[in-house]
Amino acid sequence: MLELKLLDEGTVQVKGRLDAAEADRALATLNQVPGPLTLDCGGLEYISSAGISVIMQTLKRLTAHGSRLTLIGLQPRVRNVFVYAGLDKVLDIR
């Protein structure tokens, strides 16, 4: 189960599991945020390549419009997946 919650302007709290079953819904939600966008991932317990694809598409959309994407609070195992994908070098992860 994945929960996405708009906390305030430009910040989305992500909780639960961002897997292939939830990826389409996650992308549709994030596409509604014009940016700059901060994803508070403290409650993100799991992510797969489908979830990484959502983040990549969001990053591409925002950078194409001169905006930016920031990820905060990544749990170590979730962060590892970003490292496997090589995204730790191109994303603003704090």
Measured distance CA(10)–CA(25) in Å, rounded: 18
Contact range with another protein by CB under 8 A, out of 8-16, 25-33, 35-43, 52-60: 52-60
Q: By CB neighbour count within 10 A (0-12 exposed, 13-18 middle, 19+ buried), where does 65 fall?
A: exposed
Pair 4, 12: CB distance under 8 Å: yes
Site string for another protein, 63-92 (x = CB under 8 A): x-------------x---x--xxxx-xx--
Footprint of another protein (CB under 8 A): 17, 19-21, 46, 48-50, 52-53, 56-57, 59-60, 63, 77, 81, 84-87, 89-90
